[in-house]
Amino acid sequence: MADALPDGLEDKLVSALQPIRGFVLAQSLYQFLETGAHEVLASAGTLTVARLARSCDLDEDRLRGFLQYLSNEDFVELTAEDEVTLSAKGAEIAVFRPWYTLLVGGYTGAMVDLGRALADRGVYASRDAAQVGVGSCGISRFDALPMAERLLERIPGGVRTVVDLGCGDGRYLVELCERIPGLRGVGVELGEQSVANARKLVRERDLTDRIDIRMGTATELPDLGDLPEPLCFITAFVLQEILEQAGREAIVDLLTRGFQRHPDASWIVVEVDHRPADEKVMLHGLGLGYYNPYYLIHHITRQQLETRQFWEDLFAEAGLHVTGPETPDAAYDSLGLKLAYLLRAAPGTPEQAART
């Protein structure tokens, strides 16, 4: 005789399957955006499945099954006449594409490697650096870019050249130069695909006369030749990588060398406050939805998050004058975990004396 099934088993199964549902949905929405199907539908309004398949060079039968899945999740409307339209929820998802690009496109490999990374301290989980760069720069439009703009406005006399160390796909630097008339830009990036993406974007935006994208590491300060000063270095979510890969001393050395070479420069740093054990953060919807996976990913990849106090102590150790931090607009992110600082050579330092 078969054992009696426990009461409420189906309800418990439904609850247990929600993480799997979320996993499949996240991957599916990422591909919906990446294949171009979402963009084509957003532009056309309503199309037959056959027409959408031809427009995106996709297999019609498999696309139909994919769209039926998305229809069941209320991201598209699929009719009996085989016509498909974005739902209101489906149309809105495009705004949040950078988060899917970063976390799904950039770090799916890290989740595959999670077990190995947990077992062996010498193993780092993998990531798609190009997608990380695209996603990070896209998200920066909502936080790092406006924070940097506010800090740039606080620099006496303004800035004529911005040097973005670890510029990713260049979108952050391009948009900064577009917003500030006459601003020159130099972007430095190690990833070959990211450099190609950045140069392509610069050409598309007709900014080749103002922005120079170079291949190199963030710790190698570029030769700026006769580019106009004063200048401002920017490291957005980059010092966390240097910290894991080369240590605290390497960051202090980088900042020190930058101000020794350019005593009148400014430096904007954007980092993330590391507070995974803070209940006020982790009980918040954005804390669980974004920062909790973000914190996990950074524990297993070549990046090291630190606290606000850590960064402020490090800047003090480097002998710098600190303005900030700026935090994102609370209407977008009320947790205030992304921090932007403006650094200058402190009064009385050799760098400051070199100005006079």
Q: CA 160: distance to chain centroid?
A: 25
Quickly state the pLDDT bin for 6 (edges 50, 70, 90): confident
Q: Is the pLDDT of residue 161 over 60?
A: yes
Confidence at residue 350, expressed as pLDDT on a 0 to 100 scale: 52
pLDDT digits (tens, 9 = 90+) for 104-144: 999 999 999 999 999 999 999 999 999 999 999 999 999 99
pLDDT digits (tens, 9 = 90+) for 285-318: 999 999 999 999 999 999 999 999 999 999 999 9
Strand partners, 155: none
Q: Which residues contact 329 (CB under 8 A, 6 or more apart)?
A: 146
Quickly state the pLDDT bin for 348 (edges 50, 70, 90): low
Confidence at residue 349, expressed as pLDDT on a 0 to 100 scale: 58
Confidence at residue 356, expressed as pLDDT on a 0 to 100 scale: 33
Q: Is the pLDDT of residue 270 over 60?
A: yes
Which structural domains are found in the chain, ordered by start?
9-94 (1.10.10.10), 108-353 (3.40.50.150)
pLDDT digits (tens, 9 = 90+) for 332-341: 999 999 999 9
Dihedral angle sign, alpha carbons of residues 307, 313, 318, 320: positive
- How many whole angstroms separate alpha carbon 190 and alpha carbon 208? 20
Confidence at residue 354, expressed as pLDDT on a 0 to 100 scale: 42
- How many whole angstroms separate alpha carbon 328 and alpha carbon 344? 22
Mean pLDDT of all residues in 230-259: 97
Quickly state the pLDDT bin for 346 (edges 50, 70, 90): confident
Give the max Cα distance, the chain: 93
Confidence at residue 355, expressed as pLDDT on a 0 to 100 scale: 43
Strand order across the 184-189 sheet: 211-215, 184-189, 161-165, 231-236, 266-272, 338-345, 320-326
The proportion of the chain whose per-residue pLDDT surpasses 70, expressed as a percent, equals 97
- How many whole angstroms separate alpha carbon 252 and alpha carbon 306? 15
User: Which uninterrupted H or E stretch holds 270?
Assistant: strand 266-272
Note whether 204 and 174 are within 8 A (CB): no
The proportion of the chain whose per-residue pLDDT surpasses 90, expressed as a percent, equals 94
Question: What SS3 state is found at 85?
Answer: strand
Confidence at residue 353, expressed as pLDDT on a 0 to 100 scale: 42
What burial class does residue 213 get, using C-beta atoms within 10 Å of its C-beta: 0-12 exposed, 13-18 middle, 19+ buried?
Answer: buried
Single-letter code of the amino acid located at 143:
D
Over the chain, what is the mean pLDDT?
A: 95
